[in-house]
A and B are shown apart, each in its own frame.
Chain A
Amino acid sequence: MSATESSLKAKQAKQSLGARIAARAGGGVMRVFLILVALFWLMPTIGLLLSSLRGPQDIAATGWWKIFTAPSEMTFDNYQRLLDNSTITGSLLSTIMITVPSTVLVVVIGSLAGYAFAWMEFPGRDWWFLLVVGLLVVPVQVALIPVSELFGTIGIFETTLGVVLFHTAFGLPFAIFLLRNFFAEIPRELLEAARLDGAGEIRLFTRVVMPLGGPAIASLGIFQFLWVWNDMLVALIFADSESPPITVALQQQVRQFGNNIDVLAPGAFVSMVIPLAVFFAFQRQFVSGVMAGAVK
């Protein structure tokens, strides 16, 4: 059967709900409605973006929409000042120092455990895995008090290490769940062939399982990266208050909201640049990560 034929057929069959609503209920109205919704959805972000491009006096005096009538007002001074501000640049560095290790650790530790759950034999394997599944929905709030006391005792409260460990621990249930399910579908023959070639458990893991798990690992990595990068609560409690990540640094500015939009708006945008770039570059992996987290 030719693929084109079946896809054509599918296309015809699929020209259904949306197309017919369009035809019968007035496609024009629907299109206009969707365009309005899209603009409505974009507007808050555009408002912040345009505000970040206006000088403090302009922000205080008039709304960002005035920039459309006076485009000459646009300036990058806010960004210039922001990048000269060592607190902000330092906090960006802190964010990276927290996000990268957390992501790497979750991927590595999650892969190890995921592989063990998928392909190794040990007593109570399925029970241990159910325990991990149970931990999927545990809210981080449960751990805030106990872990801050625990970290205090062992001396890593308000350190980057503490934040990284916390994020890693709470990223693990999802990581193990996702990777175990993915690894379990690797064909047994592949592993056996590698085994016959003399590969040991570690070689099997690094040379066969990890490469084959690429797509799932990519989804997981992107997911964890965005999750940690965007986190504020955990950092608020566990991060070093001398060098907080960008979310906490900006949060400290919010109390003055209204007088410092020229700092907050560009700051928020700088903090959004990396997540948005990751989002646009890896949409597919991001979406599949989201789907794996929620739906079958």
Chain B
Amino acid sequence: MTTATAGGAGAAPPADDTTPRPSPPPDPGKSRRSVTGTRRIIAAAFLLPALVLLGALVLYPIGYSVYRSFFDQAGTGFAGIDNYTALFTDATILTAVKNNAIWVVFAPTVATALGLIFAVLTERIRWGTAFKLIVFMPMAISMLAAGIIFRLVYDQAPERGVANAVAVGVHDTFNQSSGFPKARPLPVHPLEKGDGGAFVSKEPIRAGQPLRVPLVGVAPAKMPGDARPAKEAPAVSGDGEKISGTAWLDFTRGGGGKPNAVDPKEVGLKGLTVEAVKDGRVIATATAGPDGVFTLPASADGAQLRLPADNFREPYNGVDWLGPSLVTPGIIGSYVWMWAGFAMVLIAAGLAGLPRELLEAARVDGANEWQVFRRITVPMLAPVLAVVLVTLMINVLKVFDLVFIIAPGSSQDDANVLALQLYRSSFGTDADLGIGSAIAVLLLLLVIPVMLFNIRRIRKEGRR
């Protein structure tokens, strides 16, 4: 899980007051000489199980992977560096390389930044521990469970996936949801296609003449629930100064209706927007009532009637979170959800160890909180931040489960990462163990700097 960057000897004992915490012997190197005068055979017996397992299942595989990566798919022909070239030429694998780069740059940084913010903000809050517990909790669960959790969050259907429920909710608050996606006039109707999905009247509006807006192509189930039978608009409305009309669904269920006539069983297109357009400008707008009747002012005389395209837009279906372009950021989001708590806990521990006097002194000198944070807290935390970043980077290099679970089959190629490609290359239907081994060696090469860093650090501590 997190067994990445080695700490020093001091890291080992947990912060537990009941632990015997002996003061370190004056000269660790010499004083840890055997107290029993161990015979070598006993030392060997103590070490043997560990060395056998490490040798057979960790060391030998490293050697074998390197060896195997120079052979072809069948494992018989020497392939030179072909397998390594394939990593950077094969389109699918190249996507994995690129995605891994995106992962390594963004996932650790975002998780660490959030961890830093949370650690600083909760430091002296009374319920800070409860907050930390909530954010840290995802670390205890499996990547599989986290994957299932986020597969549900990102579900395309707004009635299942909460991310899309929010997206659709926000969208519909700002954009009237359109009522009649596939509605259209028939050729006999007094309407024709306008620009950009709108429909316009063939004849200009004339005062004293009721307007007719018949449309077809709306499924009865999709009609507004409270639509009522359409009413023929009166030739002249009450005060004689307005122009009225009827927008209705020109379709009688079960047949019998006449086209272009308001038949008794036909219902009004409630909510349909109509505009009067003169010289390219909208001079009046009206909305049809439940019976389809709408009223335009007398000034609309001579204008063209237009049904704007907004009436006919497909309903907004939310964001395609797991589609090709958003799938990687989406999965990175789920990773951050899991690992920000890790960063937070480590940074909080580092924060607790900062010398308070220094921070106080800066404040006494008139530094504001932001300056203290920026100029003192962050620089002093730099070693901790570096360890967190490196640990997360190593972890991210190997990310597999989340991608495997969250990315649907259709976008798994777009979400591809090295560990996933390794799995597919090695255990898929047409496995190529040469390629799989080359990916394994690449992953190993990428962690070697950290490996050397750990070794150097331990050696230094041994010498002290």
Contacts and interface: CB of A to CB of B under 8 A. Distances in A.
Given A139-B447, A186-B22, A147 B388 contact: no
Contacts of A143: 57-58, 61-62, 65
Contacts of B65: 142-143, 145-146
A116 B444 CA distance: 28
A262 to B, nearest CB: 12
A120 B165 contact: no
B5 A295 contact: yes
A146 B7 CA distance: 30
B148 interface: yes
A34 B122 contact: yes
Interface string A178-213: 110110111110011001000011001100000010
Interface string A137-178: 111111111111110000000000000011011101110111
Contacts of B150: 44
B362 to A, nearest CB: 10
A197 to B, nearest CB: 12
Interface in B357-389: 357, 359-360, 363, 368-369, 372-373, 377, 384, 387-388
A291 B11 contact: yes
B369 A215 contact: no
Interface in A236-292: 236-237, 247, 250-251, 254-255, 257-258, 261, 264-265, 268-269, 271-272, 275-276, 278-279, 283-292
A51 interface: yes
Contacts of A272: 141-142, 145
Given A48-B148, A232-B401, A278-B140, A145 B440 contact: yes
B443 A15 contact: no
Given A48-B149, A150-B56, A169-B56, A141 B443 contact: yes
B38 A121 contact: yes
B58 A257 contact: no
Contacts of A51: 152
5 contacts: A112-B47, A113-B50, A139-B394, A172-B54, A295-B346
Given A121-B34, A182-B12, 8 more contacts: A14-B124, A109-B49, A113-B46, A120-B34, A133-B455, A141-B422, A275-B142, A283-B133
Interface of B: 1-16, 18-22, 24-25, 28, 31-36, 38, 40, 42-44, 46-47, 49-51, 53-54, 56-62, 64-65, 68, 118, 120-125, 128, 130-131, 133-145, 147-153, 155, 157-162, 165, 337, 342, 345-346, 349-351, 356-357, 359-360, 363, 368-369, 372-373, 377, 384, 387-388, 391, 394, 397-398, 400-401, 404-405, 408-409, 419, 422-423, 426-427, 433, 436-437, 439-441, 443-444, 447, 450-452, 454-455, 458-459, 462
